[in-house]
Amino acid sequence: MRGELLAKSRNKLLFLDKVIAVLVLLMLSVSEIRADFMMMAVYLLLFPYMYLTERKKAIAHIAVASVIACCWIAVAKGQYGYNRELLVISGFNIYPLFAWAVGLFGVYLLYAHWVPAFWQRSPVKKMLLFAAFYWGLLFGSEILAYHVFNFRNVATAAYAVFPVLDCIHVPGWMKAAYMLIGPFYFLVCEAAGLPDPHTRS
């Protein structure tokens, strides 16, 4: 009985998490909404959202995602400049900073809904599962932003895109970083022994 209740609770949270993720993506298509302020708001609202849904242990995952996002933007800050008005502080574009933090955590949150079905899998297989989630959402969101929402990084527009996908116009080293940041985040969370972010507390 307890197991059924937990499963129903997780299913409700999965549905809610998915709805929020879709709404965030759709809001990027509304030019009247400042993407930087919206992403900052989403980031800040993650904390009360995790608290209200009794997932306070997920805060540690947000913290790790935030540190990685800060390190990445410190390295690549000169590569971001969009075709929309966005806040820049001391050369740091605020939108990608919060977008990376929210995106990394969001992928882990969605991935973790399926973790109970993969407890017996090897660490390598778990990382590959996470990578599949991450790469799918990365390319999906980039394609939507570029081709549907006309949200573009003009600072690197001259660079070649990923073959076939026609998105992520950035230098080669950034393409490699985009592919690896997600798995690196996963490995850090695993190495730190962080609990399932859906653990009730």
Asked if the model's pLDDT at residue 31 lies above 70, the reply is no
With tokens 């997780």, the residue in question is 10
pLDDT on residue 59: 93
pLDDT at 201: 60
Indicate the pairing of strand 92-93 with strand 88-89.
Answer: antiparallel
Reported as a single tens digit per residue, the pLDDT across 122-166 is 778 888 889 998 999 999 988 888 888 888 888 888 888 887 778
pLDDT recorded at residue 2 = 42
pTM of the model: 0.88
Is residue 62 within 8 Å of residue 55, measured between CB atoms?
A: no
Give the N- to C-terminal CA distance of the chain in Å, as an integer: 20
Given a cut of 70, whether residue 188 has pLDDT beyond it is: yes
| Mean pLDDT of all residues belonging to the chain | 85
Residue 87 confidence (pLDDT) = 87
Query: In angstroms, rounded to a whole number, what is the distance separating the alpha carbons of residues 37 and 24?
Result: 12
Average pLDDT over residues 32-43: 87
